Amino acid sequence: AKFNFQKATSNRVMAVQRELDADMATLQALAALYQTFSRVSREEFNEFTNRTLEDPTIASLSWVPRVDGAQRNTFVQLARVEGDDDYEIRDSNGNRVEGKESYFPILYTASTTSEADLGLDLGSDEKTLEALRLAEQSGKMVATSRVRLGETNQGFGFIVYVPIFEKSELHSRILRGFVRGVFDIEALVRESLKYIDEDAAGVRITLLDLLISDPNEQLLYTDTTNSEVSNEDGFRLVEPLILAERKWQIVSESTSAHTTTSAMAYTTLAIGATLTILLSAFLHSLMGRTSEIEKLVEQRTAELAQKATERQEALKLLRRSEERYRDLFETSQALIWTHDEAGLIRTINPAAAVSLGYTPAEMVGESLRTFIIPTERHKFNSYLETVKNIDSSRGLLKLYTKNGATRFWLYHNSRYEDEESTYIRCHALDVTESQQAERELARLNRKNQLILDSAGEGIFGINLAGECSFVNPAALEYTGHSMEELLKADVPVHEMLQPRHPDGRPYPWEESPAFATLQDGSVRRVADELMWRKDGSSFPVDYVVTP
């Protein structure tokens, strides 16, 4: 009975951990999308999240940018232009939030319920802000304590935040925002145990959050379908669960149903043994009762066959569960592999192998270093030291294919320990095209900068908010301003250079040719106007405005 209880418990712990890992992998994939591309549109976000919400364990996925206080109004205007006419940065009570140094509003969200969270400033809640700061400081995903899922739903969920940083030099990370996932704990347990529920009778599981000091607030989930926990000869096992920066615990307890079943099994076994002895003695004295003995033997044989069948069914259900996760591994378009602490590849899915022109069989057992481009191999030992000493890490692998082409993989690794060994689980996105596009963009930017620097005419750019986005040396010389003064001005650049008409009337930004061109996209040629220098003097100008 104890062996069966331990086996059932082990199956549950592994199933729940697998479901947690699968949900975290989905969230990491969305985070990798934002880490790879500096701009993700609403349509691209929706396209990515539509299929993931078919998973009942995921309640919602959101993008939460960091908005500087000075950019608040511009951000809200752009959100409305993008399609949400009523978008506003607000608190949980629906009140407008303003006057802060920075905001963390939900810009995009995909939810199984509604989009009521759009515009909610997560920084307005102290507990949420504490979780955001922890994620920013650690650079890792951070999970919250339990939350209620909706006003009427009595179940609990939890929220995970993944920090997204601007691409910059190491040790100078600039926070760009957070990817946010809300997960349904009851659905998570239900889905994870879907294929092993046949052995659920007599075992009750409970999930606890050990980072909460109040015992009344620790409970995340408990199975209410099983009978009461047995106080006599009952079994109890406690196992840890791994989740982002939190310590969860899964408690398995035998119930009265399990105790009764076990007691009946032992009683049956004792009675069976006694009957066997009595029947043997009886046979010696009454050989004539052969038919009755044969009937008893057939009955006993049937009982043994039934137990064997039940065991086969349990094994079949466990195998089905394993096949489900194997199917996810084999058919996923994400790049997934594992390697040991020495860098030897243990498993790799077809998508990852095909990306490099190999089959999984050709790569398993080889060192990951073999597939790194020669000019990057000197960094491999440093990579191994990082994955050995840090629970999770991320970065860019530069690999080359079987035919010599270069591929760029944006990876996220996590270290995992089981009873036999320690190994590294890896998820990656192939960002080769974006890397090549960035290089081409950098080349074009350098070319454009050379043109700007050599031009004799003054040239500068203005965005929708009226801010100066670039300026060439000639324009700086004409106006007397420095580049920093124009690029970081608190007012539209038009109001610095053309605050009034030649006749002295005010010349607001909204009446300028540049503002009109930004609205309708038309080219405008302007003559006989004045532009003011930093020292207050003016000079006549003719200029062209192009979108």
pLDDT in tens, 287-321: 554 555 456 556 666 666 666 666 666 566 656 66
Q: Exposure string (b/e) for 202-237, b if CB count within 10 Å is 16 or more? A: bbbbbbbbeebeeeeebebbebeebeebbeeebbeb
How high is the mean pLDDT of the chain?
81
pLDDT at 264: 47
CB burial of residue 398 (10 Å; 0-12, 13-18, 19+)? middle
Q: Looking at 146-150, 220-224, 503-507, which range is the least confident one?
A: 220-224
Tell which wins on pLDDT, 455 or 147.
Answer: 147
The Cα 266–Cα 54 span in angstroms is: 46
Does residue 157 carry a pLDDT above 70?
yes
The CATH H-level (homologous superfamily) assignment of domain 1-285 is CHASE domain (3.30.450.350)
8 A C-beta contact, residue 52 and residue 61: yes
- Model-level pTM? 0.50
pLDDT at 315: 60
| C-alpha to C-alpha distances, 371 to 179, 356, 368, 457, nearest whole angstrom | 31, 8, 6, 51
Yes or no: domain 455-545 corresponds to CATH 3.30.450.20: yes
pLDDT in tens, 43-69: 888 888 887 777 888 989 999 999 999
Written as one letter, the residue type at 94 is G
8 A C-beta contact, residue 220 and residue 209: yes
Percent share of the chain, pLDDT over 90: 33
pLDDT at 115: 55
Pick from 77-81, 269-273, 483-487 the range whose average pLDDT is largest.
483-487
Provide the residue ranges of all domains of the chain, joining segments of one domain with +. Answer: 1-285, 333-435, 455-545
**Two domains, one topology: 1-285 and 455-545:** yes
pLDDT in tens, 468-527: 989 999 999 999 999 999 998 888 999 999 999 999 899 999 999 999 998 888 999 999
Does residue 168 carry a pLDDT above 80?
no
Q: Looking at 151-165, 268-282, 385-399, which range is the least confident one?
A: 268-282
Does residue 186 carry a pLDDT above 50?
yes
pLDDT at 269: 47
Find residue 525's DSSP bridge partners.
544
Q: Is 124 helix (H, G, I), strand (E, B) or coil?
A: helix
Does residue 193 carry a pLDDT above 60?
yes
pLDDT at 257: 56
The Cα 159–Cα 139 span in angstroms is: 16
Sign of CA dihedral 403, 405, 406, 409: negative
Phi-psi region of 167 (alpha: psi -120 to 50; beta: other; left: phi over 0): beta
Does residue 31 carry a pLDDT above 70?
yes
Does residue 268 carry a pLDDT above 60?
no
The Cα 529–Cα 546 span in angstroms is: 17
Structure token digits, residue 534: 């930093």
Percent share of the chain, pLDDT over 70: 79
The Cα 269–Cα 307 span in angstroms is: 13
Strands (E), 47-125: 58-65, 67-68, 102-103, 108-111
pLDDT at 265: 47
Q: Work out the average pLDDT over 8-15.
A: 80
**Nearest partner of 272 among 250, 304, 309, 249, judged by Cα:** 304
pLDDT in tens, 334-379: 789 999 999 999 999 998 999 999 999 999 999 999 999 998 999 9
The Cα 523–Cα 513 span in angstroms is: 9
pLDDT band per the 50, 70, 90 thresholds, residue 101: very high
Q: Is 41 helix (H, G, I), strand (E, B) or coil?
A: coil
pLDDT in tens, 196-207: 655 455 678 888
CA atoms within 13 A on the CB side of 487: 8
8 A C-beta contact, residue 109 and residue 118: yes
pLDDT at 113: 65
The separation between the first and the last C-alpha atoms of the chain, rounded to the nearest angstrom, is 77
Q: Exposure string (b/e) for 401-423, b if CB count within 10 Å is 16 or more? A: eeeeeebbbbbbbbbeeeeeeeb
Q: Which CATH class is domain 333-435?
A: alpha beta
8 A C-beta contact, residue 185 and residue 58: no
